[in-house]
Chains A and B, each alone.
Chain A
Amino acid sequence: MRPARLTVVTAAAVVAALTAVTGCSEKSDASGDGTIKVAASDSACEVSTKEFPAGKVTIEVENKGSKVTELYVLFPDDRIVTERENIGPGTKATITAELKAGDYEIACKPGMKGDGIRQAVKATGAGTVEKRSPEADAAVAAYRKYVQEQADETIPKAQAFADAVKAGDVEAAKKAYAPSRIGWERTEPVAESFGDIDPKVDVREDGLEPNQEWTGWHKLEKSLFADNKIDDADKKLAETLMADLAVWQKKVGQAEITPTSMANGAKELLDEVATGKVTGEEERYSHTDLVDFKANVEGAEKAYELLKPVTSKTDPALTAELDKQFAALNNLLEKYRPNKAAYEFTSYDKVGEPERKELSDGVNALAEPLSKLAAAVAK
């Protein structure tokens, strides 16, 4: 983790916010009251009009179903234009948005789960949303799904860890520690884009600001692996960790993601390896650095694979090099994985200096061409 870091993903979010604001300044040519009515039920999401003038749009949603629902207005790549949560059965809500001309989707999410029931809509008039290639949109949408899945799959694993801590079972907690972090490590740049969560769950002792309370995985790591004990404060921290991760799980799907932020996010995952894992700083008590290492590489590879339909056209030499270097680094990591069926790696304190140098060389070999991926995406 890196506290207080302006990630590319965050920067992209800022840019997107500005875009939305400029959208506002465009003169609205909405006629009449311009209100769009949405009738949400447990099985349907009926929109009163599929086409409306660009500009300020008001959406009135009525939940006619039996489940609590949510309403989203989405860009084609699943980025969220606006949303409203917790619309109870039988209640109404009004949502406003500034929409440039272009294609959107309106989604109702009965039970507040899944991708929702979607309707394609179109804002018409002057100005169009910058078109991205269908491949790029598909990559972003798939990556958004991946990020959400990683969060969803992490929660039960983190819960098992937290439960062991709360039960005072040191050995069980030690065993559950590294697996509880895998999903987080795979998608860390996105998680970091929510500046408030990362410092709560993934900060190391040396990363604390004055008067900042140390919470999260690494505090528990120290208790378990350095002090070999669990006290009442730790049990409380396990609950705090779960509460913070729940916020992450809820927010992560809303992150601003663009093709270039995906590419640079992949590079940032390798940066994480280069600065924290290869040095053994990240998991200094548990020495499970290679588990994080593997997860970071997997997350980077996922983003890269999803972008490949784009970059294999714009820079085939780069994708060939990246294929090769991902394979090389994965092969190198396999040397430290005694049981190929398990997600367990050699304890990093057992990895000697020459081997660490070899790992570092492998990271450099991959990260350098990976830093060129964003340019290939932007071509």
Chain B
Amino acid sequence: MSESVSEQDGAPDGAHDGAPEQAGPGAPSRRAVLGWGGAGLALGAAAAGGTAIALGSGPDMVSAAAAGAAVPFHGEHQAGIASAVQDRLHFAAFDVKTKDRGELIQLLKDWTEAARLMTAGQPVGEGGYGGLPEAPPDDTGEALGLKASRLTLTIGFGPGLFAKGRFGLEGKRPGALIDLELFPGDNLDPARSGGDLCVQACADDPQVAVHAIRQLARIGFGKTAVRWSQLGFGKTSSTTPDEQTPRNMMGFKDGTRNISGTDKAALDKHVWVGAGDGSDWLTGGSYLVARRIRMNIETWDRTPLGEQEDIFGRDKGEGAPVGKSKERDEPFLKAMKPEAHVRLAHPDTNDGATILRRGYSFTDGTDGLGRLDAGLFFLAYQRDVRTGFVPIQRRLAKSDVLNEYIQHVGSAVFAVPPGVRDKDDWWGRALFA
């Protein structure tokens, strides 16, 4: 959970460009939509379009109070990056099995269509029931009757997709989509690393997030296969700094100084790929680094409070930086121990390197030794991995005292294309153009 630090931010106090916005017309429940049939579909489309206009190019911030609402799917950027962080995660990395470029394109179109429906709270295809009794329904049905729950689906393209002789994309691999180096202390499991494609599903209802990945996996069979996936249950950083800061599994507040989803200037500077950055198809997109960071929960829990606070550089109760009294007080780095996590991760220590974190806690039961298999599923979005995640992680991997209590066991990096503009657009269209 190294980079989960509260210091990853360039814009401390919120000169927010816009207030959090509602998803517009209340999200119809899936059941209601089903009942309306075609009318429901039309309404969903209209609602999404209308909201997108209302928001302009701004990020789709739906306040947590509106849990259950639908986050617009269409927009300049993909939802699920700057969007207010939802409570639950299902993240999946896929291997592409087909060798046929046309088939891959069709899959991305099919996925886009399914994502468009599911983020609007609707089942995929012909729905979950009412069809032929001899055939399985198109939608598996476990999300019927549940609200959209702010579901966002965000796709990313891994380095393998650009391999020579595969889909003719080798010339389009962005320079910033690097193969991550092996950092000191990494103990990466290949079965939890990499992937040609990824989909991040975030929602306030875990069933909605799990349902979404399950449908996409099903649609993908034969073209893709799930390589690995991760469930997350508690956001460990937020993009809404005005709300209460969540805590990670070590009990510390996380994401105090994360980039706000409404801070357009910071997003443009640190998160969105700009027009002159080198890969035109990725303009408006971002880069995602995903790391499964296992925590040695039991030894951490036996660590004295003073030591815990020294390791982070903040106090445990309030989250205030060393020597300060309030969580959001400007940290004085030199007051912290030289190897304190927050100090090492801070942009000032890393030539201003700043990333947007969207990680989640995970607990996959216990391991064979009875230890909690828990930690942080770290997700960071940035404009360039080389100037974002890499320098920060190099420093942390080398010196962070927290390393005694954590281990990076999974790793992946993806180029995240820009948003789907309208109903005729699809995930990755510019890449395959």
B161–chain A nearest beta-carbon distance, Å: 17
Is there a chain B Cβ closer than 8 Å to A231's Cβ? no
B132 touches A375 (CB 8 A): yes
- Asked if B136 is at the interface of the complex by the 8 Å CB criterion, the answer is yes
A364 within 8 A of B: yes
Segment among B149-157, B218-226, B238-246 that sits at the interface with chain A: B218-226
* Beyond A369-B221, A369-B222, A374-B135, 10 extra complex contacts between A and B, CB < 8 Å: A260-B134, A263-B134, A357-B225, A361-B225, A364-B221, A365-B222, A365-B223, A371-B136, A377-B134, A378-B132
> In this assembly, does B97 line the interface, its C-beta being within 8 Å of a C-beta of chain A?
yes
Could you list which residues of chain B lie within 8 angstroms of chain A, going by C-beta atoms? 95, 97, 131-132, 134-136, 191, 218, 221-223, 225
Contacts of B221 in A (CB 8 A): 364-365, 367-369
Interface residues on A, range: 20 to 34
* A353 and B189 alpha carbons, distance in the complex (Å): 13
Counting chain A CB atoms within 10 Å of each CB, the highest count among B95, B97, B131, B191 belongs to: B97
A364 to B219, CA, bound (A): 11
- By a beta-carbon cutoff of 8 Å, the part of chain A in contact with chain B is 260, 263-264, 321, 325, 353, 357, 361, 364-369, 371-372, 374-375, 377-378
**A375-B132, A375-B134 given; A368·B218 CB < 8 A:** yes
Docked complex Cα distance between A374 and B133 (Å):
9
Chain A contacts of B222 at CB under 8 A?
Answer: 321, 325, 364-366, 368-369
B132 touches A374 (CB 8 A): yes
| CA of A64 to CA of B402, assembled, Å | 94
- Closest chain A residue, CB of each to CB of B219: A368
A371 touches B225 (CB 8 A): no
| A374 with B134, Cβ < 8 A, contacts A361-B97, A365-B97 known | yes
Q: Which residues of B contact A325 (CB under 8 A)?
A: 222
Chain B positions within 8 Å of A374 at CB level: 132, 134-135
Could you tell me the distance in whole angstroms from the C-beta of A126 to the nearest C-beta in chain B?
27
Bound complex: CA A375 to CA B136 (Å): 8
CB distance from B132 to the nearest CB of A (A): 5
A374 to B135, CA, bound (A): 6
8 A-B pairs with least C-beta separation: A375-B135, A365-B222, A368-B221, A361-B225, A374-B134, A260-B134, A364-B221, A375-B132
Q: A372 contacts which chain B residues (CB < 8 A)?
A: 135-136
Taking a contact as CB atoms under 8 Å apart, the answer to whether A364 and B136 are in contact is no
A126 to B59 Cα, complex, angstroms: 68
Closest to A321 in B: B222
Q: In the docked arrangement, what's the CA distance between A371 and B140, Å? A: 13
In the complex, A374→B134 CA distance in Å?
Answer: 6
Query: Does B135 contact A378, Cβ atoms closer than 8 Å?
Result: yes
| Contact partners of A364 in chain B: CB under 8 A | 221-222, 225
**Cα A377 to Cα B133 with chains together (Å):** 12
**Smallest Cβ distance from A303 to chain B, in angstroms?**
14
Query: Is B97 in contact with A264, judged by CB distance below 8 angstroms?
Result: no
Q: Chain B residue with minimal CB distance to A363?
A: B221
A-B contact pairs, 14 of them (CB 8 A): A321-B222, A325-B222, A361-B95, A361-B225, A365-B97, A365-B222, A365-B225, A366-B222, A368-B218, A371-B135, A374-B134, A375-B132, A375-B134, A377-B134
CB distance from A3 to the nearest CB of B (A): 23
The complex places the Cα of A47 from the Cα of B131 at a distance, in Å, of 45
Q: Which residues from B are CB-within-8-Å of A353?
A: 191
What's the least CB distance linking B9 to chain A, in Å?
Answer: 40
A199 to B287, alpha carbons, bound, how many Å? 54
Interchain CB contact (< 8 A) of A378 among B97, B134, B191, B225: B134
CA distance A197 to B246 in the complex (A): 58
Q: Which residues of B contact A263 (CB under 8 A)?
A: 134
How far, in whole Å, are A273 and B190 apart by their CA atoms in the complex?
Answer: 26
> Which residues from chain B contact A321 at a C-beta distance below 8 Å?
222
CB distance from A7 to the nearest CB of B (A): 13
In whole angstroms, what is the CA distance A321 to B221 when docked? Answer: 11
B131 vs chain A, min Cβ distance (A): 8
CB nearest to A324 among chain B residues: B222
Residues of chain A contacted by B223 (CB below 8 angstroms):
365
On chain B, the residues within 8 Å of A375 by CB distance are: 131-132, 134-135
Residues of the B chain whose Cβ atoms lie less than 8 Å from the Cβ of A366: 222
Complex CA–CA separation, A267 to B327 (angstroms): 58
Q: How far is the CA of A377 from the CA of B132 in the complex (A)?
A: 11
